[in-house]
Structure 1
Amino acid sequence: MPRTGKRKEHPLSMRLPETDIAIIDRAATLRGRSRTDFVRDAAVRAAEDVLMETVPIRMSPAGFKAFMAALSGPASPVPQMIELFQRTAPWETGGSDTGG
């Protein structure tokens, strides 16, 4: 009997070294995900990143003029960034030495 609906999922097969599988499995476990879910999400995120890098940004001439004016204008401090850079780094807090 023929299928009445279109198949929504497509198989994807890869050959990976054991070391890669071990890393993927460890990360998937830490996230509470299956290997398949973890790899699918990572691959889709990477693909979206590539696509976002290549998508042209379109704007009106007036919008472009305002954008260029904002870039060309004087910099103004961002209070949250100032506070962040004034914090002591975690490795500079003088915590206990656990090294060997």
Structure 2
Amino acid sequence: MPRVIKRKEHPLSMRLPETDIAIIDRAATLRGRSRTDFVRDAAVRAAEDVLMETAPIRMSPAGFKAFVEVLSKPARPVPEMVELFQRAAPWESRNAKAEK
């Protein structure tokens, strides 16, 4: 007797303009993915973002108090960030500064 295998996938169909398909196909090719894999991953990522934006954050009253205390303290400089912001931007060349 043949075994019945339950299909785990559910079809999803969309009608898209040719220009959208061209963009999706180009991006999928650049990533080395199929159109289906590319669209599925993008849709799942977008759905996860929405769910994370709306998910409530729960914590105990003591945990919330500790959280607020940390946020209420004065900010401390992060040496790596200070150094980063003091660097010239990659598009700012020495020649551009000399011309000013």
Structure 1 gap segments, 5+ residues each: 96-100
- How many residue pairs match? The answer is 95
Match of 2:61 in 1: 61
Match of 1:36 in 2: 36
Match of 1:92 in 2: 92
Q: Report the CA distance between 1:3 and its aligned residue.
A: 6.9
Q: What's the C-alpha RMSD, in Å, of the aligned pairs?
A: 1.9
**TM-score, length-normalised on structure 1?**
0.85
Match of 2:75 in 1: 75
Alignment of 1:40-55 (within 5 A): 40-55=40-55
| Per-residue Cα deviation, 1:36-92 (whole angstroms, up to 9, x for no partner) | 100000000000000001111011111100100111110011122212212221221
Q: For the pair shown, which has the larger CA radius of gyration, 1 or 2?
A: 2
- How many Å separate the matches in 1 of 2:3 and 2:39? 29
Structure 2 gap segments, 5+ residues each: 96-100
- How many Å separate the matches in 2 of 1:17 and 1:93? 43
- How many Å separate the matches in 2 of 1:14 and 1:94? 51
- How many Å separate the matches in 1 of 2:22 and 2:47? 23
Q: Which runs of 4+ in 1 moved over 2 A?
A: 1-6
- How many Å separate the matches in 1 of 2:3 and 2:83? 61
**TM-score, length-normalised on structure 2?**
0.85
Deviates more, 1:76-85 or 1:21-30: 76-85
